[in-house]
Amino acid sequence: MKQLPQKRELMDMILVVMKSSNGNMNTSTINDLVAKQLNIPEDLLKIEDANCTGTEYSYRMRWARTELKQKGYIRNVKRGEWEICSDQKS
């Protein structure tokens, strides 16, 4: 893999990893499991975001979670804690 996955692929994998863990996870765990499932190399995970707000990977993951939230697939139960919406668990 020479570049980070696109948002759609990240969104799909977020749902996969959350469904496999009963739907409740913290941000760090989601990020770690998605990176592992997509076999993203460590060097790509460490690329700094152009806005200096962390890594490019964490930035893309924030947007992917935001879009999933806006579409009603997941919800942010408290800061850093996410759950899959009940109709998405099956």
φ and ψ of 71, to 5 deg: -85, -5
Q: What would the pLDDT profile of 9-53 be if each residue is shown by its tens digit?
A: 999 999 999 999 877 899 999 999 999 999 999 999 999 877 767
Q: What is the value of pTM for the model shown?
A: 0.89
Category of 51 on φ-ψ map: left (φ > 0), alpha (ψ -120 to 50) or beta: alpha
* Confidence band of 89 (pLDDT split at 50, 70, 90): low
